[in-house]
Amino acid sequence: MAKSAAIGSKSDFSIQLFLFGDGVVGKTCLFIRAIENKFSFDTSATIGVDAHKKQWIIDEKKIDLLLWDSTGNSHFRSFVLGWSRSADGCLLVFDLTDASSLDSIVNWIQELHKTGRQDLPMILIGNKSDLTTQRKVTYNQAIAVANQFNISYIETSALDGSNIDTMFISLIRDVCHKKLPSSDQIKTMCNTCGLKQLVPMASCSGCSHYFCEKHIQEHPREKERI
């Protein structure tokens, strides 16, 4: 569970998260929804990067979050990737109504890997889930890309706010878990079989439960969406 905390109080973790993806996939709208809990139809294209601070309480830990929105313009990609060397985690955003934006995510991941960030916590985000009749990317197509790079997948809507908290909580938990010394890491339990692992398991895109690789595929909430 997450809630806002007063800025200025001592934090347990300070982390930086980046939003990556092509232009017009909704990164800025997700950014505004996360920071201000509102949706704006009047957003201009991000030039370079933009940042905002927010303090959250997650799992009784105070998190100082610096959230970076980035341009999707290919001419600025090398600049954005260079700026992101300080990132603790990233949200890879594509548009569910534009199949080419999912193809671009593969390029984003490969470029991040070239900068030496193979271990950077990432979550694949399918945005604009509210536009069901315009959808061009199936759940199976998106999860195939996520599985290719061993990352989680969550579908969101900046318009209605669905899964916005889930998206950030999942990534922040992964980042904080990585920052802990191995002796202090808490084992995560699969909600189905009870198997515990030190590494974070996949989180369901529609609930707060975690699952091992086998049972995330069998989870009823996910099966309904295939």
* Dist. CA 64–CA 189, nearest whole Å: 26
- Does residue 72 carry a pLDDT above 70? no
Average model confidence (pLDDT) across the chain: 75
Confidence band (pLDDT; 50, 70, 90) for 85?
Answer: confident
pLDDT at 192: 54
pLDDT at 116: 80
Q: Which residues contact 222 (CB under 8 A, 6 or more apart)?
A: 139, 204, 205, 206, 216
pLDDT in tens, 149-185: 999 999 999 899 999 989 889 999 999 888 776 544 4
Burial of 37 (0-12, 13-18, 19+ CB in 10 A): exposed
* Dist. CA 217–CA 195, nearest whole Å: 15
Superfamily for the 2-179 domain:
P-loop containing nucleotide triphosphate hydrolases (3.40.50.300)
- Does residue 5 carry a pLDDT above 70? no
Query: Sign of torsion, CA 11 166 207 113?
Result: negative
pLDDT at 121: 93
* Dist. CA 3–CA 56, nearest whole Å: 6
pLDDT in tens, 177-216: 887 765 444 455 555 554 444 444 455 555 555 555 555 5
Tell me where in the chain the CATH 3.40.50.300 domain(s) lie. 2-179
Q: Which residues contact 186 (CB under 8 A, 6 or more apart)?
A: 177, 180
DSSP annotation of 156 reads: -
